[in-house]
Structure 1
């Protein structure tokens, strides 16, 4: 899964430090040194999270955060504010800007990454590293392995071979079970909306995923919702296997 972070920071050294460290952990980083530049970026690419810092002294950062939270297109994007003083954190609260987190400077790259992951984990369940056991499948994000409970003996597990894209697709669907996702939504979660890919490509990966799940009789877990998209559903399969569901 591709995660895109927009960093809005007017201090060049700090902006570069944030960018380098986020890229090291596999995140895509977009950078802006002021709110206007950030607005132009967001008009083309919707990030998964926005970091705002450095502009609080002249209120530009707070006004930018307020605008993001007020507009329909951007209101669900989580925001982390980088503040220079505890008083600034209080100022954010007083102005009722609903940001997800704030970090007081100075901070370590490790702390920033941990806080980003915590925010994304709340918003994007597939970011978590917990093993998922659902519908007779067991998916381990850490080892990138998927097992299925066999028909004859539920306690025995058969490994399913998946390609990296099929794994990410299954992971996302399992962490958002019963929810219907359009092709565009799945495309954004798998590749990010800054990459152009024909939405019908999603159909190809869905077919590949089902083919792999068919080897253990679990292809019906990935369902087509006609005219909308796809979902992962265990309702029709939960009686077939006694695997522990999450």
Structure 2
């Protein structure tokens, strides 16, 4: 028997990268998974990979900047599988890389709407569904940049600091109702999003790797493992935590 047999998980941004690895990790532990992403092709690939491994998954095209879309995502979990136990709010974007005063209003607002408001929208619909199932666990995807600053990434940094604060607050509000709320703060992880930000250049990659005492990027599976642990009974006394998985980046 796997640890998450008869449970249901929702993962946003599950069409690639950390979200895809997390969806597959939940399924490997026995959970039925709602794979949510704005990218239908990527989401379908994740579902296919889960099903090929013997798991159960359903794709929902979900835009975390749209209330109705997020509500439908959660409703699909309940209608397809009867409940909601776990949610990993992972969908996010990097945004423009510019000094703070050079950002346009649209560039700022886009990052905040996806990375911070999108997490809040997801929680808003996930928690009532979890309360109907006598509790659950929410894991929000923050970042080491939710703990420190980083040049030319002010919108991203602000959004991830916001996710950390939102996580701590929601954890306090629902702790006595059987819901735990935590966040994972990854270091720089080897994902398509990171490559799109310029790390397809070998020298740029080496420079980012050197910021971590382990002198490498993290893997998506290392972050997925942290999410799964936070949802497990082994983390039953853990809420309001921002679990840093960063190869030592923030230890400096």
TM-score by length of 1: 0.40
Bigger fraction of residues in helix: 2
More strand by share: 1
Q: TM-score, normalised by structure 2?
A: 0.39
Which protein, 1 or 2, shows the higher relative CO under an 8 Å CA cutoff with sep ≥ 6? 2
Greater C-alpha Rg: 1
